[in-house]
Structure 1
Amino acid sequence: MNDSLPGAGFWALLNPHTGDLGDVRRTARGFSSDLTAIVECEKGPFFVKAMRNRPGGRRDSLIREALVNPFVVPLAPALKWQAENDEWIVLGFEAVEARGAKFDVDSPDLRAVVGLLGRIGELPLPGVAEGWAETRWNRFADDAADAALFEGGALLYTDINPSNFMIGEGRTWAVDWSWPTRGAAFIDPACLVVQLVAAGHSPEDAEAWAGRCPAWVDADRRAIDAFASANLRMYRSFAERRPDAAWLKAMETTARSWAAHRGAPV
């Protein structure tokens, strides 16, 4: 352990679930959490994800991740336990032997990634997600009619990026279900398209990969066009608000390339 880890009170909270501690290794991913780590322990190992127990979106996202987990296993690592006190809220997941996927043009991981995304698209919407309507792109749509095209009854993962698809020996997992929603099924493959273009794919090639997902094949072309435009406006807005964040400007450029490819308003 090192000085950047939480104090003794944190580990006392986890002790009924972990038993005696061994090694604690912080992970490189988990950008929005106060702590993500592999915890070697008497009852483990576990992947531990923790946030300060304060009202707001970050706490709510951890609660949502715990609620949806039983419905997305085995496509995601299983949640083994939860712990909470006035200071912390903590989830303990099974630890999997895996690495982050690669999204670049020649990556051998893409078939597994697309296959897993297709399986996510086949999951039934659990009752806990009925009230989790997807609205993040609505305010960037041309009008209410376009925003309505993003509505639907599919369980959406949405947090699609290379570090969230874990490649193991003969198996792939989608991790970090921090903000699953209910919406139009094509949105997950559309998010994959954006990430693939950001990784160096042409829009045509990225859409060809998305075309392996039934949700993309069955989608209304107008809905995808409306989403591409809204996605561009979203990243443009974010980049304008944070001009020093180079990655947001890069995502705006990515979104513009895809929208232009579709002939959507840019």
Structure 2
Amino acid sequence: MPAPTTAFNELPSGIRAAIESETGPILKVDPVTAGLNSSLSAHANTADGTVFLKGLRTDHRWVWTQQREADINPYVTPLAPRLLFHVVVDGWDVLGFETIDGRHADYSPGSPDLPKVTDALRELAALPCPDIELRRAEQRLAGYVAHPADAEVFAGDALLHTDWNNQNVLVTEDRAHLVDWGWATRGAAWLDAAHWVIWLVAAGHTPADAEQLVGHVPTWKSAPPRAVDAFVQASANLWTEIAGAKPDAWTSRLVSASQRWNQHRSKHSHVPPRTVH
């Protein structure tokens, strides 16, 4: 479920003052409606420029992602926008990032953004995984494979973003930037390319064409076919669970994409299917 939205002027005075102590006086606030994981998502305009604000209440179940983003940021810039400050005051946890003057990536077939996103995948794959607390891919997916031990094929020491929603990819004239690192994970190096395939299929690619596109990412070539089969089935089960009994249009699109990829792979799969009820 998306986090409930809070406008900047609805924040307690203490957290607003703490933010302005970092930014200087805020002249105007423009809400950002694209994100799902933050209660506060806005551009704060000051005399010196614009800062992107991202915040959650300290009692929110996802508030730990705020610290995760703060911890990982020094290791992932300039692929990610630079973190300017992190304040926790008055029951609120707020991050302030430099603003990227870009637009959300277009994943549709033939889009000129696709090579830039591929380059971002390559750039991420070249970064060492920092020695900080991160979730592990095999643990995140253990509940969606036929047997928990099957998830060991997702284990590894690569740094993964894992959420390749095109809303998390900002394209500028010369490159693509990745935002929203709260679900950064440690795992097998090929997994980010696999996560992207689902979003490509949801954007209109056939599963075969999506696999061909991620074939330009060197880490994908290291993916054992049986491990990919296990990931595809786990993803189909995961998205089915997320959708629940009454999925919205956005979630239905991802369920359909993951199932189409699963059907494509099942022709040559030796991994027994498992459906989450």
Range class of TM-score, shorter chain: over 0.9
- Mark the runs of 5 or more structure 1 residues left unpaired by the alignment: none
Shift of 1:187: 1.1
Paired residue secondary structure (1:238): helix
TM-score (norm 1): 0.93
The answer for the alignment partner of 1:47 in structure 2 is 52
Shift of 1:43: 4.4
Shift of 1:42: 3.6
Q: Is 1:103 matched up with 2:107?
A: yes
State whether residues 17 and 43 of structure 1, in contact with CA within 8 Å, keep that contact through their aligned partners in structure 2.
no
Paired residue secondary structure (1:124): coil
C-alpha RMSD of matched pairs (Å)? 1.7
Paired residue secondary structure (1:215): helix
Alpha-carbon deviations, 1:55-75, whole Å to 9, x = none?
A: 53x110111011000000010
The answer for the alignment partner of 2:140 in structure 1 is 136
Q: Is 1:254 matched up with 2:219?
A: no
Paired residue secondary structure (2:54): strand
State whether residues 47 and 93 of structure 1, in contact with CA within 8 Å, keep that contact through their aligned partners in structure 2.
yes
Deviates more, 1:46-55 or 1:66-75: 46-55
Paired residue secondary structure (1:260): helix
Using the aligned pairs only, state the percent identity.
37
The answer for the alignment partner of 1:231 in structure 2 is 235
Alpha-carbon deviations, 1:9-51, whole Å to 9, x = none?
A: 3321212101111111111222111111111114442111111
Q: Is 1:93 matched up with 2:80?
A: no
Paired residue secondary structure (1:62): helix
> Counterpart amino acid of 1:155?
L
Paired residue secondary structure (2:37): coil
- Mark the runs of 5 or more structure 2 residues left unpaired by the alignment: 1-5
The answer for the alignment partner of 2:40 in structure 1 is 35
Question: Which residue among 12, 15, 27 is the counterpart of 1:10?
Answer: 15
Paired residue secondary structure (1:128): coil
Alpha-carbon deviations, 1:138-170, whole Å to 9, x = none?
A: 111111342110111111100101111111121
State whether residues 34 and 50 of structure 1, in contact with CA within 8 Å, keep that contact through their aligned partners in structure 2.
yes
> Counterpart amino acid of 2:131?
G
CA separation of 1:192/1:44 partners in 2, compared to 1, >3 Å: closer, same or farther?
same
> d(CA) in 2 for partners of 1:4 and 1:85?
16
The answer for the alignment partner of 1:214 in structure 2 is 218
TM-score (norm 2): 0.89
Question: Which residue among 176, 194, 208 is the counterpart of 1:172?
Answer: 176
